[in-house]
Amino acid sequence: MDKKGFVYLVGAGPGDPGLFTLKGKAVLAKADVVVYDRLVSSQILAWAPSNAELIYVGKKSGNHALPQEEINALLATKASEGKMVVRLKGGDPFLFGRGGEEALYIREKGFAYEVIPGITSAIAVPAYAGIPVTHRDNSSSLTIVTGHERPDKKESSINWELLGASDSTLVFLMGVENLDFIVNNLMNNGKSEETPVALIRWGTLPEQEILAGKLNDIVTKVKESNFKPPAVIVVGEVVDLRHSLSWVENKPLWGKRIIVTRARAQASDLVAKIRELGGEPIEFPTISIEPESNYLALNNAFNNVSNYDWLIFTSVNAVKIFFAKLREDKKDIRHLARLKICAIGPATRKELEDKGLIVDNMPDEYRAEGIIEELKDKIKPGEWVLLPRARGARSLLPEALKDLGANVNEILIYKAVAEKRVSEDMFAQIVKGNIDYVTFTSSSTVENFVNIVGLENALKINNKAKIAAIGPITAKTAETKGFTVDIIAKDYTINGLIAAIMADVKL
């Protein structure tokens, strides 16, 4: 066990990225190689380092990307290269996940490993469907059974006689294709044909679908509705509690698929809010933030900062880069003591407050026009304004400040460029068009979205989904690109955008 490589067997949980464990996420963030299964979400995979090698080994009925023996060998091979390998498995690796087989093989080959359990779908999926697997009035025990045992197997490893006589809640995993076999075995062994049954498809995800019935009719219902796997099967009286205990379907954005086009580094708030409200955020970053290559002008401003009267920030990005460079220049907020500070909106203000600064002015309207209105009676002729901001921003603000008599030093400290790392799988999903909303948070996100997907595809998406813009400037850019803008946030913030989408959902 003195070999250098290391393998983590990690349970990815039932699907909802929020149910991935903290320890699993921490390990994934340091992986050299990620070997993952079919039901591991793209959001979880996005937490792996950008330079990590991602290897898909998913299994689907009748179609295995890689046989189990080859998966075992792959883990050992990657470990033999001295790499940190994360084996990501849906649910829990030791519950019908063949994690035990992989662990034995890894140990036999002389490599160290660690198991990081995951939340099993056997409990989480029913919970999201409003079904407690135990309840003292209905069931005091839980039996988890593989639904994948072959019907033609000569000797079953499942004690059907015991299951048929049991009052335990029964949960079958991977059993939709064997449902007829499961149902008949239960009824033939004493289980009442009136026993409630629920099939929960894509449990814990916004696509979650529930089909309920009884043992004597559930097979017919599945065929009539063309209900497809993957799904968890729950058998027992607890199933009927879902009528009283359903909760996730009541969330305001439940089932809505929403494209987030913000830069990856900025998208977390919007993604988290969508997910919290029951929607499915589809991260498709169209821009990335690149600092400028030359900071001579900014360094010169730092050295002469006492000559300025105002410091105006029009974005969170500008704040972050400005203060990173201030620190590199071995200066801190004490050098800004005499400046009055203006922030374009609450997110930018919060970023400044987190730096220990108090913002003197923030406009009611969170755009350049709002700043001008806010400062028109406050900036005095001859005062100096330091304006660090993005290359390509509208010229309206510096020109208007000059018209007020101010001396404006506009310094370009970053640029928003088109995102180069575009997921082919995500691209295909978006173009296919199973989308409810597309969110645009700046003109750059609009322009780059069109550049990435192509004008023809963008117009197809426009016909299938509603377009939501964070404000009128962004909306105008979208309209010039051929989009029909359905929603414009009244409050030009992420919260305002979310509120506008929720209002639309209620219509």
Catalytic residue positions? 37, 59, 174
> How far is Cα of residue 17 from the mean position of the Cα atoms in its chain?
7
DSSP code per residue over 10-48: EE-BSS-GGGS-HHHHHHHTT-SEEEE-TT--HHHHTTS
Cβ–Cβ under 8 Å, residues 438 and 466: yes
What does the chain come to in residues? Answer: 507
Cβ–Cβ under 8 Å, residues 313 and 341: yes
End-to-end CA distance of the chain: 62
Phi and psi angles of residue 426, each rounded to the nearest 5 degrees, phi first = -65, -40
DSSP code per residue over 79-94: HHTT-EEEEEESB-TT
Phi and psi angles of residue 54, each rounded to the nearest 5 degrees, phi first = -105, 125
The percent of the chain in helix, strand and coil, each rounded to the nearest 5, is 40, 20, 40
CA atoms of 495 and 256, how far apart (whole Å)? 17
Structure tokens at 185: 């075995």
Cβ–Cβ under 8 Å, residues 6 and 115: no
**Residues ≥6 apart with Cβ < 8 Å to 330:** none
Question: Reduced to 3 states, what is the DSSP secondary structure of residue 450?
Answer: helix
CA atoms of 439 and 475, how far apart (whole Å)? 10
Question: Reduced to 3 states, what is the DSSP secondary structure of residue 211?
Answer: strand
Cβ–Cβ under 8 Å, residues 480 and 469: no
CA atoms of 507 and 498, how far apart (whole Å)? 15
Count CB-CB contacts under 10 A for residue 236.
Answer: 28
CA atoms of 201 and 232, how far apart (whole Å)? 7
Question: Reduced to 3 states, what is the DSSP secondary structure of residue 153?
Answer: coil
Count CB-CB contacts under 10 A for residue 232.
Answer: 32
What is the spatial order of strands in the sheet that 112-116 belongs to? 53-56, 33-36, 84-89, 6-11, 112-116
Phi and psi angles of residue 420, each rounded to the nearest 5 degrees, phi first = -90, -30
CA atoms of 267 and 283, how far apart (whole Å)? 8
